[in-house]
Structure 1
Amino acid sequence: MNQNDFRNLQFNLSGIRFWLTLLLVIWLLSSIGLGWLVKFSFIVLSLLLITPVIAFIGFRWWLKRNLVVDQCPVCGFESAGINGTQLRCPSCSEQLRVENKKFYRLTPPGTVDVEAIDVSVKQIED
């Protein structure tokens, strides 16, 4: 039996099938007038790529304006907090509030906060 017989001739169309399908889709879109669909898909793709960049830049701007790094008024430990929030000092566990780029100690109403001053003692001899 001859393998080169005309009845056994087969064509390999797997490589051409992709290009014919692509050409058919492009021809169909151009003939129907669905250019708006292609433009819309490009706009959506562009927004999906640009939105995270804009969000990252906006978040850094917001963080730069609202992140406060200061020392605890009780123990002097330096920590960070968001402006307008409350937090606990990681060192002494004192409740703090962050206002106007500074840490303030949270105290119950009526509490007087006093700073002690060390006074040296002099002995007077008689």
Structure 2
Amino acid sequence: MSLKTFQLNLSNLRPWLTLLAITWLLASLGLGWLVNSLVIIIGLLLLAPILIFFGFRFWLQYNLVTDQCPVCRYQFTGLKQSQLQCPNCGEQLMVQQGHFQRLTPEGTIDVTAIEVPSKSLDD
């Protein structure tokens, strides 16, 4: 190991040694509480994005509803207890009880039509 290699390795450690020296100096002066609070703040800053990410994923998993439009049967996703518009047919919908329901004016009776096969009298 040559002297240049040792100097190069020491120059890479200089910021860490400086931080260690400042920490030791503050602790020896009775300012250990300052060092502890800085470590806690840095730890919270590093931990906060992780907690926010997993919290947002949990919220989305709980509040997203995937269902079919009752008019055109197009499947898409919406948020619980919200009003939205079907991207396929444009029908105004409301998410209630985990399903999409049409928004109709009060007094409107919504019926479902079914196809009945016709029989001719000749049969």
Q: What's the TM-score, normalizing by structure 1?
A: 0.76
The alpha carbon displacement at 1:94 in A equals 0.3
Pick from 93, 105, 108: which aligns with 2:105?
108
More helix by proportion, 1 or 2? 2
1:65 corresponds to which letter in structure 2?
Answer: Y
Aligned to 1:7: none
Q: Which residue of 2 aligns with 1:56?
A: 53
Equivalent residue for 1:119?
116
- Contact 2:81–2:96, Cα closer than 8 Å, also in 1: yes
Q: What count of residue pairs does the alignment treat as equivalent?
A: 108
Q: For residues 26 and 115 of structure 1, what CA distance do their matches in structure 2 show?
A: 74
1:27 & 1:119 partners in 2: Cα distance?
88
Deviations 1:42-67 (A, max 9, x none): 00000001111111111111111110
Match of 2:85 in 1: 88
Q: In 2, distance between residues paired with 1:63 and 1:110?
A: 34
Report if the CA contact (8 A) 2:27-2:35 is conserved. Answer: no
Paired-residue identity, %: 51
1:9 match: none
TM-score of the two chains, using structure 2 as the length reference: 0.78
Q: Report what 2:96 is aligned to.
A: 99
Amino acid at match of 1:82: L
* Cα distance in 1 between the residues matched to 2:95 and 2:87: 15
Q: CA deviation at 1:29?
A: 1.5
Q: 1:65 aligns with which of 62, 65, 85?
A: 62
Describe the shift of the 1:26–1:108 C-alpha distance in structure 2 as closer, same or farther (beyond 3 A). Answer: closer
Which is greater in Rg?
1
CA RMSD of aligned residues (A): 2.2
**Per-residue CA shift, 1:28-85, capped at 9, x if unaligned?**
4134211110110000000001111111111111111110010000000011000110
